[in-house]
Copies of this chain bind each other. A is one copy, B any other.
C-alpha cells in the first residue's frame, strides 16, 4: 500500500504539526468567494504544490448562475459615541458580514441594530455571516459586546469594494498512467474558520504533495474553489474533464475531535462510497456513513442530476451539528495536529484502495490450488490460520473476474490492505492474473 507506507515512514505527530502549521498560516487571511484574500490563500498553497490559478471575469454566465462582482475589504469598524472602535475588523475578520457593501455613516444604535448579529447562546463567540447574493451590510459581534453598547450615535465604516473583477480558483493536476481522474475538492472561501475549511485545505495540499512524482494509476485533480459558485463555475468550464472523473471527495471539517462521517454520493453505491466506508470501518471508531442529502458542500453541485458524479464528502464532525460551526470558536485550538494527521492517514488509505482495487482471475480455479507446496500455507494441520492465509483463500475463491478486491475485502471482513497484499503475492506466484 504505497501511500500509507510512505506516510508511515514519518512520525504522525510531526505530520500533524506540519498540517496545523499550514492551517495557522492561512488562518488570518480574510477570504471570501472572490477577492484578494482568496488569491493570497492560493499563493500560500502554491508554495507547496504546483497550482494553476484561474481568473473568471465578473458577469460570466456559468450554467444558471453569473459570476458575481469581486469583493475586497481593507478595514471596517463601529466607533462608539466616544469615538473608540467597539467592533474592529482588524481584530477579527468575522466581525464583518462577508460580502458587505461599503458603508460609511453615523447612526443611532436603534438604526444600527438590524445590522448587528450575535449568538446569545454563546455570548463570547462571534458568528460568521455572509450575504453574497443580496446586497446588504452588517457586523457580527459577541453577544457580550453588544450588551454593553449604550445609546448614542455610532460611526459605522465598511471600507470594502464590490466591483467588477474576477472569481479566482486554484487547480492542481497530478498525472497518473490513466486519464481517468480522482477529484479532491475543497471550499476555500471561508475567512478565519479553522475546521471549516482550513482543515480540508491543509490535508488536501499535503495529499497533493504526497502524490506528486509517484507512479499512479489514476490522475488526481485538486480544486481550491469558492463554495457553490466555484464548483458551478469549474463544472461549467470543464465539461470534458468531468467525463474523466471516476471518483471524488469533498474534504471539509476534518480537523476537529469528532468521529469520522462520510456522506455518500447521490449514487449511494459508487466505488468511492464503498471504499470510504471500508476504510472508516477498519481504521476508525464508530464512523458514520450518511446518505446523500441536499445540505452540505460542493458535492451538491457534483451530484446534481446532470452530472451525478461519484463524489462524496468526508468529514469529522458534520457542518451545523457542532456548536463552534460558523463561529469564532472554530479557531486554531479547535483543530488538533493529531486529528489532522489521522485525517490525512484516512485519505491516503482511501486513495490506496482506489489505486489498487481491481478484478483478478484465479488461474487455478478448479479446487483450491495447493498453497502448501508454494510455501503459502501453514505446513501442519491443526495450527491456527492467520489473516494472511485467510486473505489468500478469499482472493483465490472470489477472483472470478466479477469481484473486485474491495468486494472481496468486504465479503471476507478483512482489511483491503491484507486482500491487496494477498493479490500481489498470488500474482507473483502466477496464481492470479
By a beta-carbon cutoff of 8 Å, the part of chain A in contact with chain B is 62-65, 98, 117, 127-134, 136, 228, 231-232, 235-236, 266, 291, 293-295, 300-301, 303-308, 326, 362, 364-370, 372-373, 379-382, 385, 390, 393-394, 396-400, 411-412
Contacts and interface: CB of A to CB of B under 8 A. Distances in A.
B380 A130 contact: yes
A102 B128 CA distance: 83
Given A65-B370, A300-B368, 9 more contacts: A127-B382, A131-B381, A133-B373, A236-B366, A301-B367, A304-B367, A305-B362, A305-B397, A305-B398
Kindly name the residue among A130, A370, A385 whose own CB sees the greatest number of chain B CB atoms within 10 A. A370
How many copies the complex holds: the figure is 3
Kindly name the residue among A63, A305, A362, A394 whose own CB sees the greatest number of chain B CB atoms within 10 A. A305
A384 to B, nearest CB: 9
Contact of A305 (B307, B370, B399): B399
A375 to B, nearest CB: 10
Contacts of A232: 366-368
Nearest to A65: B370
A127 B367 CA distance: 28
B64 A369 contact: yes
Kindly name the residue among A133, A295, A390, A400 whose own CB sees the greatest number of chain B CB atoms within 10 A. A133
Nearest to A381: B130
Given A305-B397, A305-B399, A64 B134 contact: no
A380 B301 contact: no
A134 B372 contact: yes
A228 B393 CA distance: 14
A63 B326 contact: no
Nearest to A399: B305
Contacts of A398: 305
Contacts of A304: 365-368, 396-397
Interface of A is mostly: loop
A405 to B, nearest CB: 15
A74 B365 CA distance: 38
Nearest to A398: B305
Contacts of A128: 382
Contacts of A369: 63-64
A128 B382 CA distance: 7
A365 B397 contact: no
B381 A132 contact: yes
Contact of A368 (B132, B228, B365, B385): B228
B235 A367 contact: yes
A396 B63 CA distance: 15
Nearest to A383: B129
A202 B63 CA distance: 54
Contacts of A390: 294-295
7 contacts: A64-B366, A64-B367, A228-B368, A236-B366, A236-B367, A266-B397, A304-B365
A133 B367 contact: no
Nearest to A389: B294
Nearest to A138: B380
Given A235-B366, A294-B397, A397-B266, A382 B129 contact: yes
Given A294-B393, A304-B366, A134 B399 contact: no
A301 B397 CA distance: 9
B295 A381 contact: no
Contact of A131 (B127, B306, B380, B399): B380
Q: Which 7 A-B pairs have the closest CB atoms?
A: A306-B365, A130-B381, A294-B393, A306-B366, A232-B367, A64-B369, A305-B400
Contacts of A132: 381
